[in-house]
Structure 1
Amino acid sequence: MTASEPVPISRTGARVERLPLARYTTLGVGGEAEVWFVSTHEQLAEAMSQPYRILGGGSNLVIADEGLRERVIRLTGPLAEADLEPDPALSTPDQIITGWVGGGVPLPGLIRKLQKLGWSNLEGTVGIPAQVGGAVWMNAGTRYGEMFDGLHTLEIVTPEGTRQVTPDDLKWGYRDSGIPRNHIVSRVRLKLRPSTPDAVLDAMNFADNARKGQPKMKTPGCAFKNPGGVSAGKLIDEAGLKGLRAGNAMIAPEHANFIVNLGGATSADVHALLDAIRSRVPVPMELEYELWPEQHGLEQA
Protein backbone atom coordinates (compact mmCIF):
# COMPACT_ATOMS: atom_id res chain seq x y z
CA MET A 1 0.00 0.00 0.00
CA THR A 2 1.25 3.49 -0.81
CA ALA A 3 0.30 6.78 0.79
CA SER A 4 -2.07 7.51 -2.11
CA GLU A 5 -4.05 4.29 -1.70
CA PRO A 6 -7.21 4.37 0.44
CA VAL A 7 -7.21 2.59 3.78
CA PRO A 8 -9.81 -0.15 4.28
CA ILE A 9 -13.11 0.47 6.02
CA SER A 10 -13.57 -1.71 9.08
CA ARG A 11 -16.78 -3.78 9.15
CA THR A 12 -16.64 -3.83 12.98
CA GLY A 13 -16.23 -0.07 13.45
CA ALA A 14 -12.51 0.12 14.15
CA ARG A 15 -10.84 3.41 13.23
CA VAL A 16 -8.29 2.89 10.45
CA GLU A 17 -5.79 5.52 9.28
CA ARG A 18 -2.47 5.64 7.46
CA LEU A 19 -0.08 7.40 9.85
CA PRO A 20 3.63 7.99 10.50
CA LEU A 21 4.73 5.58 13.24
CA ALA A 22 7.41 7.93 14.57
CA ARG A 23 4.75 9.67 16.66
CA TYR A 24 4.07 6.42 18.53
CA THR A 25 7.64 5.54 19.51
CA THR A 26 9.87 6.88 22.29
CA LEU A 27 12.74 7.16 19.78
CA GLY A 28 10.68 9.27 17.39
CA VAL A 29 11.62 7.53 14.13
CA GLY A 30 9.66 5.33 11.74
CA GLY A 31 7.77 5.57 8.46
CA GLU A 32 4.09 5.11 7.69
CA ALA A 33 1.74 2.17 8.14
CA GLU A 34 -1.96 1.35 8.16
CA VAL A 35 -2.96 1.77 11.81
CA TRP A 36 -5.99 0.05 13.34
CA PHE A 37 -7.35 1.51 16.57
CA VAL A 38 -9.37 -1.31 18.15
CA SER A 39 -11.52 -1.14 21.28
CA THR A 40 -13.31 -4.53 21.28
CA HIS A 41 -12.34 -8.16 20.86
CA GLU A 42 -14.42 -8.23 17.65
CA GLN A 43 -12.43 -5.34 16.19
CA LEU A 44 -9.21 -6.97 17.32
CA ALA A 45 -10.09 -10.21 15.56
CA GLU A 46 -10.82 -8.32 12.34
CA ALA A 47 -7.55 -6.40 12.56
CA MET A 48 -5.67 -9.68 13.03
CA SER A 49 -7.19 -11.18 9.86
CA GLN A 50 -4.31 -9.76 7.79
CA PRO A 51 -0.56 -9.59 8.57
CA TYR A 52 -0.16 -7.32 11.58
CA ARG A 53 2.04 -5.99 14.35
CA ILE A 54 0.89 -4.73 17.75
CA LEU A 55 2.23 -1.35 18.91
CA GLY A 56 1.95 -0.24 22.53
CA GLY A 57 4.04 2.45 24.19
CA GLY A 58 6.68 2.28 21.45
CA SER A 59 9.74 1.82 23.67
CA ASN A 60 12.47 -0.74 22.89
CA LEU A 61 11.51 -0.33 19.25
CA VAL A 62 13.21 0.91 16.07
CA ILE A 63 10.93 1.18 13.02
CA ALA A 64 12.35 1.46 9.51
CA ASP A 65 12.18 4.82 7.75
CA GLU A 66 10.31 3.12 4.88
CA GLY A 67 7.46 2.14 7.21
CA LEU A 68 5.71 -1.21 7.28
CA ARG A 69 3.70 -3.30 4.87
CA GLU A 70 1.79 -4.95 7.72
CA ARG A 71 -1.05 -3.19 9.47
CA VAL A 72 -0.31 -1.92 12.99
CA ILE A 73 -2.78 -2.52 15.84
CA ARG A 74 -3.29 -0.14 18.79
CA LEU A 75 -5.53 -1.02 21.75
CA THR A 76 -8.01 1.69 22.76
CA GLY A 77 -11.33 2.13 24.60
CA PRO A 78 -12.16 -0.70 27.03
CA LEU A 79 -8.93 -2.45 26.03
CA ALA A 80 -7.06 0.57 27.41
CA GLU A 81 -8.97 0.83 30.71
CA ALA A 82 -8.18 -0.61 34.15
CA ASP A 83 -10.61 -2.17 36.65
CA LEU A 84 -8.65 -2.09 39.90
CA GLU A 85 -11.49 -3.24 42.13
CA PRO A 86 -10.33 -6.31 44.10
CA ASP A 87 -12.06 -9.48 42.96
CA PRO A 88 -13.78 -10.78 46.15
CA ALA A 89 -13.75 -14.36 44.86
CA LEU A 90 -9.98 -14.39 44.38
CA SER A 91 -8.57 -11.86 46.84
CA THR A 92 -7.46 -12.60 50.40
CA PRO A 93 -6.31 -10.34 53.27
CA ASP A 94 -2.72 -10.89 52.10
CA GLN A 95 -3.26 -10.76 48.33
CA ILE A 96 -5.26 -8.50 46.02
CA ILE A 97 -6.44 -9.82 42.65
CA THR A 98 -7.79 -7.02 40.51
CA GLY A 99 -10.36 -6.93 37.76
CA TRP A 100 -9.17 -6.81 34.16
CA VAL A 101 -6.52 -4.28 33.15
CA GLY A 102 -6.41 -3.60 29.40
CA GLY A 103 -3.24 -4.15 27.41
CA GLY A 104 -3.48 -0.57 26.14
CA VAL A 105 -3.26 0.97 29.64
CA PRO A 106 -0.14 3.16 30.01
CA LEU A 107 2.12 1.54 32.59
CA PRO A 108 3.40 4.76 34.25
CA GLY A 109 -0.14 5.93 35.08
CA LEU A 110 -1.08 2.48 36.37
CA ILE A 111 1.94 2.40 38.70
CA ARG A 112 0.95 5.82 40.11
CA LYS A 113 -2.58 4.58 40.81
CA LEU A 114 -1.27 1.47 42.57
CA GLN A 115 1.02 3.63 44.71
CA LYS A 116 -1.89 5.81 45.85
CA LEU A 117 -3.81 2.67 46.78
CA GLY A 118 -0.81 1.35 48.70
CA TRP A 119 -0.60 -1.84 46.63
CA SER A 120 2.81 -3.38 46.05
CA ASN A 121 4.51 -5.80 43.60
CA LEU A 122 4.96 -3.61 40.50
CA GLU A 123 6.77 -0.55 41.84
CA GLY A 124 10.05 -1.92 40.45
CA THR A 125 8.78 -1.15 36.93
CA VAL A 126 8.59 2.59 37.67
CA GLY A 127 9.74 4.79 34.80
CA ILE A 128 9.21 2.27 32.01
CA PRO A 129 7.39 4.10 29.16
CA ALA A 130 5.27 1.19 28.01
CA GLN A 131 1.70 0.00 27.81
CA VAL A 132 0.67 -2.96 29.94
CA GLY A 133 0.38 -5.43 27.06
CA GLY A 134 3.81 -4.74 25.66
CA ALA A 135 5.39 -4.62 29.12
CA VAL A 136 3.92 -8.05 29.89
CA TRP A 137 4.88 -9.48 26.49
CA MET A 138 8.57 -8.70 27.09
CA ASN A 139 8.40 -9.01 30.89
CA ALA A 140 9.70 -5.46 31.19
CA GLY A 141 11.40 -4.46 34.40
CA THR A 142 14.42 -3.10 36.20
CA ARG A 143 16.86 -4.66 38.64
CA TYR A 144 14.21 -3.99 41.31
CA GLY A 145 11.29 -5.82 39.77
CA GLU A 146 9.52 -7.00 36.62
CA MET A 147 5.98 -7.37 35.28
CA PHE A 148 5.62 -11.03 36.18
CA ASP A 149 6.01 -10.07 39.86
CA GLY A 150 2.45 -8.78 39.75
CA LEU A 151 0.52 -10.99 37.30
CA HIS A 152 -2.31 -13.38 38.18
CA THR A 153 -4.00 -14.08 34.83
CA LEU A 154 -3.21 -13.14 31.25
CA GLU A 155 -5.71 -12.97 28.40
CA ILE A 156 -3.90 -13.72 25.15
CA VAL A 157 -5.46 -13.27 21.72
CA THR A 158 -4.10 -15.39 18.88
CA PRO A 159 -5.15 -15.74 15.24
CA GLU A 160 -6.99 -18.89 16.36
CA GLY A 161 -8.88 -17.30 19.26
CA THR A 162 -8.64 -16.06 22.84
CA ARG A 163 -7.33 -17.94 25.85
CA GLN A 164 -6.52 -17.22 29.48
CA VAL A 165 -3.30 -18.43 31.09
CA THR A 166 -1.39 -17.94 34.32
CA PRO A 167 2.33 -17.24 34.71
CA ASP A 168 2.80 -20.90 35.63
CA ASP A 169 1.61 -21.83 32.12
CA LEU A 170 4.42 -19.83 30.48
CA LYS A 171 8.17 -20.30 30.28
CA TRP A 172 8.94 -16.72 31.27
CA GLY A 173 12.25 -15.25 32.34
CA TYR A 174 14.50 -12.22 32.04
CA ARG A 175 12.88 -9.82 29.56
CA ASP A 176 10.88 -12.68 28.10
CA SER A 177 7.30 -13.80 28.75
CA GLY A 178 7.43 -16.91 26.62
CA ILE A 179 4.45 -15.59 24.61
CA PRO A 180 4.86 -16.11 20.82
CA ARG A 181 5.38 -13.08 18.61
CA ASN A 182 2.02 -13.19 16.83
CA HIS A 183 0.02 -13.30 20.09
CA ILE A 184 -1.42 -10.19 21.73
CA VAL A 185 -1.77 -9.57 25.48
CA SER A 186 -5.22 -7.99 25.48
CA ARG A 187 -5.90 -7.89 29.25
CA VAL A 188 -4.42 -9.04 32.56
CA ARG A 189 -5.45 -9.44 36.16
CA LEU A 190 -2.90 -8.15 38.65
CA LYS A 191 -1.69 -9.95 41.78
CA LEU A 192 -0.73 -7.36 44.40
CA ARG A 193 0.31 -7.20 48.04
CA PRO A 194 -1.32 -4.78 50.52
CA SER A 195 1.16 -2.17 51.74
CA THR A 196 0.93 1.59 52.33
CA PRO A 197 1.17 4.51 49.89
CA ASP A 198 4.31 5.79 51.66
CA ALA A 199 6.07 2.43 51.59
CA VAL A 200 5.29 1.91 47.90
CA LEU A 201 6.42 5.47 47.10
CA ASP A 202 9.71 4.88 48.95
CA ALA A 203 10.32 1.74 46.86
CA MET A 204 9.47 3.62 43.66
CA ASN A 205 11.83 6.46 44.53
CA PHE A 206 14.62 3.99 45.33
CA ALA A 207 14.21 2.28 41.97
CA ASP A 208 13.88 5.59 40.14
CA ASN A 209 17.02 7.06 41.73
CA ALA A 210 19.04 4.23 40.22
CA ARG A 211 18.01 5.51 36.78
CA LYS A 212 19.22 9.08 37.27
CA GLY A 213 22.25 8.59 35.03
CA GLN A 214 20.10 7.69 32.03
CA PRO A 215 19.63 10.22 29.21
CA LYS A 216 16.47 12.34 29.08
CA MET A 217 16.35 12.71 25.29
CA LYS A 218 14.26 10.59 22.91
CA THR A 219 15.50 7.02 23.17
CA PRO A 220 14.15 3.48 22.78
CA GLY A 221 15.80 2.46 26.09
CA CYS A 222 18.77 0.16 26.61
CA ALA A 223 20.19 -1.07 23.30
CA PHE A 224 21.69 -4.38 24.47
CA LYS A 225 21.04 -6.89 27.23
CA ASN A 226 23.81 -7.34 29.76
CA PRO A 227 25.84 -10.38 28.61
CA GLY A 228 26.52 -12.86 31.39
CA GLY A 229 25.96 -10.32 34.14
CA VAL A 230 28.47 -7.85 32.68
CA SER A 231 27.21 -4.31 32.04
CA ALA A 232 26.61 -3.76 28.32
CA GLY A 233 27.02 -0.03 28.89
CA LYS A 234 30.45 -0.59 30.45
CA LEU A 235 31.58 -2.71 27.50
CA ILE A 236 30.44 -0.07 25.01
CA ASP A 237 32.11 2.67 27.06
CA GLU A 238 35.39 0.71 27.23
CA ALA A 239 35.28 0.43 23.43
CA GLY A 240 35.44 4.24 23.33
CA LEU A 241 32.01 4.67 21.75
CA LYS A 242 30.34 7.13 24.10
CA GLY A 243 29.28 10.20 22.16
CA LEU A 244 29.68 8.54 18.75
CA ARG A 245 27.28 10.06 16.21
CA ALA A 246 25.68 8.81 13.02
CA GLY A 247 23.61 11.52 11.44
CA ASN A 248 21.34 12.83 14.19
CA ALA A 249 21.58 9.75 16.41
CA MET A 250 24.19 9.45 19.15
CA ILE A 251 25.43 6.97 21.73
CA ALA A 252 24.54 8.89 24.88
CA PRO A 253 27.43 10.45 26.83
CA GLU A 254 25.51 9.80 30.06
CA HIS A 255 25.16 6.04 29.51
CA ALA A 256 26.74 4.14 26.63
CA ASN A 257 23.93 1.56 26.34
CA PHE A 258 21.49 4.24 25.20
CA ILE A 259 21.11 5.65 21.70
CA VAL A 260 19.37 9.04 21.58
CA ASN A 261 17.65 11.07 18.88
CA LEU A 262 19.25 14.52 18.73
CA GLY A 263 16.39 15.72 16.53
CA GLY A 264 15.57 14.43 13.07
CA ALA A 265 17.39 11.12 13.44
CA THR A 266 16.48 8.29 11.09
CA SER A 267 16.27 4.55 11.56
CA ALA A 268 19.33 4.26 9.31
CA ASP A 269 21.28 6.47 11.73
CA VAL A 270 20.38 4.18 14.63
CA HIS A 271 21.31 1.03 12.71
CA ALA A 272 24.69 2.56 11.86
CA LEU A 273 25.40 2.98 15.58
CA LEU A 274 24.20 -0.54 16.38
CA ASP A 275 26.53 -1.88 13.68
CA ALA A 276 29.41 0.16 15.12
CA ILE A 277 28.82 -1.27 18.59
CA ARG A 278 28.65 -4.83 17.28
CA SER A 279 31.90 -4.39 15.36
CA ARG A 280 33.84 -2.76 18.23
CA VAL A 281 32.67 -4.65 21.32
CA PRO A 282 34.41 -8.04 21.54
CA VAL A 283 31.72 -9.72 23.66
CA PRO A 284 28.59 -10.98 21.81
CA MET A 285 25.54 -9.08 23.07
CA GLU A 286 21.85 -9.69 22.48
CA LEU A 287 19.86 -6.75 21.16
CA GLU A 288 17.23 -5.34 23.52
CA TYR A 289 15.33 -3.52 20.75
CA GLU A 290 12.61 -4.84 18.50
CA LEU A 291 13.48 -4.04 14.87
CA TRP A 292 10.56 -3.46 12.47
CA PRO A 293 11.02 -4.99 9.95
CA GLU A 294 13.81 -7.27 11.13
CA GLN A 295 17.06 -6.49 9.36
CA HIS A 296 20.85 -6.65 9.58
CA GLY A 297 20.54 -9.94 11.49
CA LEU A 298 20.78 -8.01 14.76
CA GLU A 299 17.61 -9.56 16.14
CA GLN A 300 19.52 -12.87 16.25
CA ALA A 301 22.48 -11.36 18.15
Structure 2
Amino acid sequence: MTAAVSRTGTRVERLPLSRFTTLGVGGEAEVWFVESPEGLAEAMERPYRVLGGGSNLVVSDAGVPERVIRLSGPLAERDLTPDPALSTPECVVTGWVGGGVPLPGLVRQLQKLGLSGLEGTVGIPAQVGGAVWMNAGTRYGEMFDGLHTVEIVTPEGTRQVTPDELPWGYRQSGIPRNHVVTRVRLSLTVSTPGAVLARMDLADQARKGQPKMKTPGCAFKNPGGVSAGKLIDDAGLKGTRVGGALIAPEHANFIVNLGGATAADVHALLDIIRARVGVPLELEYELWPGQGEP
Protein backbone atom coordinates (compact mmCIF):
# COMPACT_ATOMS: atom_id res chain seq x y z
CA MET A 1 0.00 0.00 0.00
CA THR A 2 1.23 3.49 -0.84
CA ALA A 3 1.79 5.68 2.21
CA ALA A 4 -0.68 8.48 2.84
CA VAL A 5 -0.05 11.81 4.55
CA SER A 6 -2.36 13.10 7.28
CA ARG A 7 -3.44 16.71 7.70
CA THR A 8 -0.44 17.36 9.98
CA GLY A 9 1.98 15.81 7.49
CA THR A 10 2.30 12.49 9.33
CA ARG A 11 3.08 9.47 7.16
CA VAL A 12 0.37 6.81 7.51
CA GLU A 13 0.71 3.32 6.06
CA ARG A 14 -1.06 -0.03 6.49
CA LEU A 15 1.68 -2.53 7.29
CA PRO A 16 2.19 -5.97 8.88
CA LEU A 17 3.25 -5.45 12.49
CA SER A 18 5.56 -8.46 12.20
CA ARG A 19 8.01 -5.97 10.65
CA PHE A 20 8.26 -4.12 13.94
CA THR A 21 8.39 -6.91 16.55
CA THR A 22 11.41 -8.86 17.71
CA LEU A 23 9.33 -12.05 17.56
CA GLY A 24 8.47 -11.42 13.91
CA VAL A 25 4.75 -12.17 14.12
CA GLY A 26 1.69 -9.95 13.89
CA GLY A 27 -0.98 -8.99 11.37
CA GLU A 28 -1.66 -5.64 9.74
CA ALA A 29 -2.56 -2.30 11.23
CA GLU A 30 -2.61 1.38 10.28
CA VAL A 31 0.81 2.68 11.32
CA TRP A 32 1.37 6.39 12.06
CA PHE A 33 5.00 7.54 11.91
CA VAL A 34 4.66 10.52 14.24
CA GLU A 35 7.36 13.23 14.22
CA SER A 36 5.72 16.15 16.04
CA PRO A 37 3.40 17.01 18.93
CA GLU A 38 0.80 18.07 16.35
CA GLY A 39 1.05 14.73 14.57
CA LEU A 40 0.79 12.89 17.88
CA ALA A 41 -2.32 14.85 18.85
CA GLU A 42 -3.92 13.98 15.52
CA ALA A 43 -3.01 10.29 15.80
CA MET A 44 -4.56 10.19 19.28
CA GLU A 45 -7.93 11.47 18.05
CA ARG A 46 -9.05 7.88 17.50
CA PRO A 47 -8.26 4.63 19.40
CA TYR A 48 -4.54 3.95 19.26
CA ARG A 49 -1.67 1.84 20.54
CA VAL A 50 1.99 2.82 20.84
CA LEU A 51 4.67 0.57 19.35
CA GLY A 52 8.32 1.07 20.24
CA GLY A 53 11.08 -1.43 19.59
CA GLY A 54 8.61 -4.31 19.43
CA SER A 55 10.24 -6.42 22.13
CA ASN A 56 8.19 -7.97 24.93
CA LEU A 57 5.21 -8.00 22.57
CA VAL A 58 3.06 -10.66 20.88
CA VAL A 59 0.69 -9.23 18.25
CA SER A 60 -2.36 -11.17 17.07
CA ASP A 61 -2.18 -12.76 13.63
CA ALA A 62 -5.20 -10.61 12.77
CA GLY A 63 -3.35 -7.43 13.73
CA VAL A 64 -5.21 -4.75 15.70
CA PRO A 65 -8.01 -2.38 14.65
CA GLU A 66 -6.52 0.68 16.36
CA ARG A 67 -4.02 3.11 14.93
CA VAL A 68 -0.46 2.14 15.82
CA ILE A 69 1.82 5.05 16.72
CA ARG A 70 5.58 4.96 16.18
CA LEU A 71 7.68 7.91 17.33
CA SER A 72 10.21 9.09 14.75
CA GLY A 73 12.00 12.20 13.49
CA PRO A 74 12.58 14.74 16.31
CA LEU A 75 10.80 12.40 18.74
CA ALA A 76 13.59 9.89 18.10
CA GLU A 77 16.49 12.30 18.70
CA ARG A 78 18.66 12.76 21.79
CA ASP A 79 20.40 15.65 23.55
CA LEU A 80 22.89 14.35 26.11
CA THR A 81 24.34 17.78 26.88
CA PRO A 82 24.50 18.30 30.66
CA ASP A 83 21.92 20.78 31.91
CA PRO A 84 24.04 23.28 33.91
CA ALA A 85 21.11 24.23 36.13
CA LEU A 86 20.50 20.64 37.25
CA SER A 87 23.88 18.90 36.96
CA THR A 88 26.66 18.65 39.56
CA PRO A 89 30.28 17.43 39.28
CA GLU A 90 29.07 13.97 40.39
CA CYS A 91 25.75 13.77 38.53
CA VAL A 92 24.71 14.77 35.00
CA VAL A 93 21.12 15.61 34.11
CA THR A 94 20.82 15.55 30.34
CA GLY A 95 18.73 17.40 27.84
CA TRP A 96 15.69 15.66 26.38
CA VAL A 97 15.91 12.14 24.91
CA GLY A 98 13.05 11.19 22.58
CA GLY A 99 10.83 8.20 23.30
CA GLY A 100 11.64 6.81 19.84
CA VAL A 101 15.41 6.62 20.51
CA PRO A 102 16.72 3.02 20.31
CA LEU A 103 17.89 1.99 23.77
CA PRO A 104 20.93 -0.11 22.71
CA GLY A 105 22.55 2.79 20.87
CA LEU A 106 21.81 5.16 23.73
CA VAL A 107 23.46 2.83 26.27
CA ARG A 108 26.58 2.53 24.09
CA GLN A 109 26.80 6.32 23.72
CA LEU A 110 26.49 6.83 27.48
CA GLN A 111 29.31 4.33 28.03
CA LYS A 112 31.60 6.29 25.73
CA LEU A 113 30.77 9.45 27.70
CA GLY A 114 31.53 7.71 31.00
CA LEU A 115 27.99 8.20 32.32
CA SER A 116 26.60 5.47 34.55
CA GLY A 117 22.99 4.55 35.33
CA LEU A 118 21.56 2.64 32.38
CA GLU A 119 24.26 0.04 31.68
CA GLY A 120 22.13 -2.66 33.33
CA THR A 121 19.73 -2.40 30.38
CA VAL A 122 22.44 -3.34 27.85
CA GLY A 123 21.17 -5.59 25.07
CA ILE A 124 17.46 -4.88 25.56
CA PRO A 125 16.04 -4.26 22.04
CA ALA A 126 13.65 -1.49 23.00
CA GLN A 127 13.03 2.17 22.37
CA VAL A 128 13.31 4.58 25.28
CA GLY A 129 9.57 5.25 25.59
CA GLY A 130 8.61 1.60 25.73
CA ALA A 131 11.50 0.76 28.04
CA VAL A 132 10.31 3.45 30.46
CA TRP A 133 6.67 2.35 30.18
CA MET A 134 7.52 -1.20 31.33
CA ASN A 135 10.61 -0.28 33.38
CA ALA A 136 12.71 -2.64 31.28
CA GLY A 137 15.83 -4.05 32.85
CA THR A 138 17.91 -6.97 34.04
CA ARG A 139 19.11 -8.01 37.47
CA TYR A 140 21.93 -5.49 36.96
CA GLY A 141 19.67 -2.48 36.58
CA GLU A 142 16.52 -1.00 35.09
CA MET A 143 15.32 2.15 33.30
CA PHE A 144 14.20 3.94 36.45
CA ASP A 145 17.80 3.83 37.72
CA GLY A 146 18.64 6.62 35.28
CA LEU A 147 15.54 8.81 34.99
CA HIS A 148 15.17 12.42 36.08
CA THR A 149 11.98 13.53 34.31
CA VAL A 150 9.42 11.76 32.14
CA GLU A 151 7.19 13.60 29.68
CA ILE A 152 3.85 11.87 29.23
CA VAL A 153 1.19 12.75 26.64
CA THR A 154 -2.47 11.78 26.89
CA PRO A 155 -5.50 12.88 24.86
CA GLU A 156 -6.09 15.39 27.68
CA GLY A 157 -2.67 17.02 27.47
CA THR A 158 1.03 16.83 28.35
CA ARG A 159 2.63 16.54 31.78
CA GLN A 160 6.14 16.11 33.09
CA VAL A 161 6.70 13.96 36.17
CA THR A 162 9.61 12.67 38.23
CA PRO A 163 10.06 8.97 39.08
CA ASP A 164 8.96 9.77 42.65
CA GLU A 165 5.54 10.72 41.28
CA LEU A 166 5.01 7.33 39.62
CA PRO A 167 4.13 4.01 41.34
CA TRP A 168 6.89 2.18 39.51
CA GLY A 169 8.31 -1.22 40.40
CA TYR A 170 9.53 -4.50 38.95
CA ARG A 171 8.81 -4.40 35.20
CA GLN A 172 6.17 -1.72 35.48
CA SER A 173 6.15 2.07 35.63
CA GLY A 174 2.61 2.77 36.74
CA ILE A 175 2.05 4.80 33.55
CA PRO A 176 -1.41 3.93 32.15
CA ARG A 177 -1.68 2.10 28.86
CA ASN A 178 -3.14 4.99 26.82
CA HIS A 179 -0.33 7.38 27.80
CA VAL A 180 2.64 8.04 25.50
CA VAL A 181 6.16 8.56 26.85
CA THR A 182 7.43 11.15 24.38
CA ARG A 183 10.66 12.34 26.05
CA VAL A 184 12.79 11.83 29.14
CA ARG A 185 15.65 13.57 30.90
CA LEU A 186 18.30 11.23 32.29
CA SER A 187 20.03 11.53 35.66
CA LEU A 188 23.41 9.78 35.45
CA THR A 189 26.44 9.33 37.68
CA VAL A 190 29.76 10.64 36.38
CA SER A 191 32.13 7.68 35.96
CA THR A 192 34.65 6.59 33.31
CA PRO A 193 34.13 4.75 30.01
CA GLY A 194 36.15 1.80 31.30
CA ALA A 195 34.19 1.44 34.53
CA VAL A 196 30.83 1.67 32.73
CA LEU A 197 31.98 -0.87 30.14
CA ALA A 198 32.98 -3.30 32.90
CA ARG A 199 29.47 -3.12 34.36
CA MET A 200 27.97 -3.54 30.89
CA ASP A 201 30.08 -6.66 30.41
CA LEU A 202 28.69 -8.14 33.63
CA ALA A 203 25.13 -7.67 32.41
CA ASP A 204 26.05 -8.90 28.94
CA GLN A 205 27.69 -12.06 30.29
CA ALA A 206 24.47 -12.91 32.10
CA ARG A 207 22.71 -12.92 28.71
CA LYS A 208 25.08 -15.40 27.07
CA GLY A 209 22.77 -18.33 27.79
CA GLN A 210 19.81 -16.66 26.11
CA PRO A 211 18.66 -17.70 22.63
CA LYS A 212 19.81 -15.71 19.60
CA MET A 213 16.73 -16.36 17.47
CA LYS A 214 13.68 -14.11 17.06
CA THR A 215 12.06 -13.77 20.48
CA PRO A 216 10.07 -11.20 22.48
CA GLY A 217 12.29 -11.82 25.51
CA CYS A 218 11.33 -13.45 28.81
CA ALA A 219 7.79 -14.83 28.74
CA PHE A 220 6.95 -14.72 32.46
CA LYS A 221 7.92 -12.62 35.47
CA ASN A 222 9.79 -14.42 38.21
CA PRO A 223 7.17 -15.32 40.85
CA GLY A 224 8.23 -14.35 44.35
CA GLY A 225 11.91 -14.24 43.48
CA VAL A 226 11.90 -17.78 42.04
CA SER A 227 13.22 -18.18 38.49
CA ALA A 228 10.34 -18.67 36.05
CA GLY A 229 12.80 -20.31 33.65
CA LYS A 230 13.75 -22.92 36.25
CA LEU A 231 10.09 -23.69 36.98
CA ILE A 232 9.41 -24.22 33.27
CA ASP A 233 12.58 -26.30 32.90
CA ASP A 234 11.65 -28.43 35.95
CA ALA A 235 8.29 -29.11 34.28
CA GLY A 236 10.20 -30.71 31.40
CA LEU A 237 9.09 -28.17 28.81
CA LYS A 238 12.39 -27.08 27.25
CA GLY A 239 12.29 -27.82 23.54
CA THR A 240 8.48 -28.07 23.36
CA ARG A 241 7.30 -26.94 19.94
CA VAL A 242 3.99 -25.81 18.49
CA GLY A 243 4.12 -24.97 14.79
CA GLY A 244 7.01 -22.56 14.23
CA ALA A 245 7.31 -21.57 17.91
CA LEU A 246 9.64 -23.29 20.38
CA ILE A 247 10.39 -23.09 24.11
CA ALA A 248 14.10 -22.40 23.77
CA PRO A 249 16.49 -25.19 24.80
CA GLU A 250 18.97 -22.53 25.97
CA HIS A 251 16.55 -20.90 28.44
CA ALA A 252 13.05 -22.17 29.19
CA ASN A 253 11.58 -18.71 29.83
CA PHE A 254 12.10 -17.74 26.18
CA ILE A 255 9.85 -18.61 23.24
CA VAL A 256 11.53 -18.31 19.85
CA ASN A 257 10.35 -18.12 16.25
CA LEU A 258 11.94 -20.92 14.26
CA GLY A 259 10.58 -19.38 11.06
CA GLY A 260 6.95 -19.04 10.10
CA ALA A 261 5.66 -18.98 13.67
CA THR A 262 2.26 -17.44 14.33
CA ALA A 263 0.87 -15.68 17.37
CA ALA A 264 -1.47 -18.64 17.78
CA ASP A 265 1.57 -20.94 18.10
CA VAL A 266 3.01 -18.72 20.84
CA HIS A 267 -0.29 -18.57 22.73
CA ALA A 268 -0.51 -22.37 22.59
CA LEU A 269 2.93 -22.66 24.23
CA LEU A 270 1.98 -20.12 26.90
CA ASP A 271 -1.11 -22.19 27.69
CA ILE A 272 0.98 -25.38 27.93
CA ILE A 273 3.40 -23.69 30.35
CA ARG A 274 0.59 -22.38 32.57
CA ALA A 275 -1.02 -25.82 32.67
CA ARG A 276 2.17 -27.68 33.55
CA VAL A 277 3.92 -25.32 35.99
CA GLY A 278 2.62 -25.73 39.53
CA VAL A 279 2.44 -22.02 40.48
CA PRO A 280 0.61 -19.05 38.91
CA LEU A 281 2.78 -17.20 36.41
CA GLU A 282 2.33 -13.58 35.36
CA LEU A 283 3.10 -12.72 31.74
CA GLU A 284 5.98 -10.38 31.04
CA TYR A 285 4.84 -10.15 27.41
CA GLU A 286 2.28 -7.58 26.37
CA LEU A 287 -0.42 -9.12 24.22
CA TRP A 288 -2.16 -7.27 21.38
CA PRO A 289 -5.14 -7.46 21.77
CA GLY A 290 -4.90 -8.08 25.49
CA GLN A 291 -6.69 -10.74 27.48
CA GLY A 292 -10.42 -10.17 27.19
CA GLU A 293 -10.08 -7.65 24.33
CA PRO A 294 -11.91 -8.38 21.05
- When normalised by structure 1's length, the TM-score is 0.96
The CA deviation at 1:288 is 0.4
- SS of match in other structure, 1:62: strand
Cα distance in 2 for partners of 1:205, 1:181 equals 33
- SS of match in other structure, 1:110: helix
Match of residue 230 from structure 1 = 226
Change over 3 Å in CA distance of 1:296–1:261 after alignment to 2: farther
2:111 counterpart of 1:115: yes
- Tell me the alpha carbon deviations over residues 109-146 of structure 1, each in whole angstroms, 9 at most, x when there is no partner: 00000000000011000010000000000000000000
- Tell me the alpha carbon deviations over residues 128-180 of structure 1, each in whole angstroms, 9 at most, x when there is no partner: 00000000000000000000000000000001010100001111111110100
Cα distance in 2 for partners of 1:103, 1:285 equals 30
- Tell me the alpha carbon deviations over residues 83-132 of structure 1, each in whole angstroms, 9 at most, x when there is no partner: 00001111111110000000000000000000000000110000100000
Structure 2 unaligned blocks of 5 or more: none
Letter in 1 for 2:7: R
Cα distance in 2 for partners of 1:238, 1:293 equals 30
Cα distance in 2 for partners of 1:8, 1:183 equals 25
- SS of match in other structure, 1:85: coil
- SS of match in other structure, 1:133: helix
Match of 1:160 among 137, 156, 176: 156
- Aligned pairs for 1:95-106 (under 5 A) are 95-106=91-102
2:186 counterpart of 1:190: yes
- Tell me the alpha carbon deviations over residues 50-94 of structure 1, each in whole angstroms, 9 at most, x when there is no partner: 000000000000000011100100000110000000011111111
Match of 1:205 among 196, 201, 215: 201
Match of residue 174 from structure 1 = 170
2:73 counterpart of 1:77: yes
- Aligned pairs for 1:1-301 (under 5 A) are 9-295=5-291
- SS of match in other structure, 1:191: strand
Which stretches of structure 1, 4 residues or longer, exceed 6 Å deviation after superposition? none
User: How many residue pairs get matched?
Assistant: 293
Contact 2:4 2:11 (C-alpha < 8 Å) held by counterparts: no
Structure 1 unaligned blocks of 5 or more: none
Name the Cα RMSD after superposition. 1.2
- SS of match in other structure, 2:274: helix
Cα distance in 2 for partners of 1:75, 1:172 equals 23
